[in-house]
Amino acid sequence: MARFITKQQILDLVKDQHFETEDNFRDYLAPKLAELFKVNKEQVETEPVTTSFDGTLSNRADIIIRNEDGNFKKALIVFELKLSKSVDKFNNGDYTGTDKQLKKYCQDVRAPYGVLLTENFCAIYRNKYFSYDQEPKRGLKNIIPTIEGIENIMAKEALVDFFFLNKSLKYIYYLIFVLIIYFLFAVSLEKAFGLWISMLISFLISIIGGGVIAIIFKVRKTFD
């Protein structure tokens, strides 16, 4: 199974196509993207509203591909679509304005990837997940990971971001404290009941504790 989608594969979706309006472009492309990235059609949203405090730019992205989790939806890829004739007409062939618009959408929804697409031009941008006030950079390899690959990247970057946040240190201390208590508890069990019994009790406590944490996390995500 391929680990990446190439720029050419995206361009091939609109090869030899001619669109009168950007609405036609968007409506044609959305189901094609669902097939290419192997996601449900419901995960490909057209004209979703993004959070915006910039009154000079639109607050509706053309297309956003999201993850499948109904309780904790995340934007994975933002597509900004333009007709070549429109870009040439209003920007004299310069994509700077459209480029700025795409980067704004990526920041608004924290999408790790953005794609600027016309009928004959494609640029892929990388946006660091959960990082504020940073400039998405255009990818040099002209490839974008599969949906599973993007989700793995987001998980890793969220974890790294957590460890470097100013307020994260107290949670790291909590974790160290819990591990020390757990270690002392396991040693006490071993002395009282022997190695195998203590290992069994520790295992059961770990399973119960993990289950409680999972339930708490699930409930919090549901009601957030």
Q: What is the pLDDT of residue 146?
A: 92
- Does residue 197 carry a pLDDT above 50? yes
Closest CA to 123 of 112, 137, 133, 108: 137
Q: What is the pLDDT of residue 108?
A: 83
Q: Which residues lie closer than 8 Å to 126 by C-beta, 6 or more apart?
A: 112, 113, 136, 137, 138, 139
Q: What is the pLDDT of residue 27?
A: 94
Q: Is the dihedral of CA 19, 21, 26, 31 positive or negative?
A: negative
CATH number for the region 4-160 comes to 3.90.1570
pLDDT tier at 223, thresholds 50, 70, 90: very low
- Cα(118)–Cα(13) distance, rounded to whole angstroms? 11
107-126, pLDDT tens digit by residue?
Answer: 888 889 999 999 988 989 98
Domain boundaries, the chain: 4-160, 166-223
**Length of the chain in residues, anyone?**
224
Residue 113 near residue 52, CB atoms below 8 Å: no
Report the Cα 20 to chain-centroid distance in Å: 31
Arithmetic mean of pLDDT over the chain: 77
- Does residue 222 carry a pLDDT above 50? no
42-80, pLDDT tens digit by residue?
Answer: 999 998 877 655 555 567 889 999 988 767 788 999 999
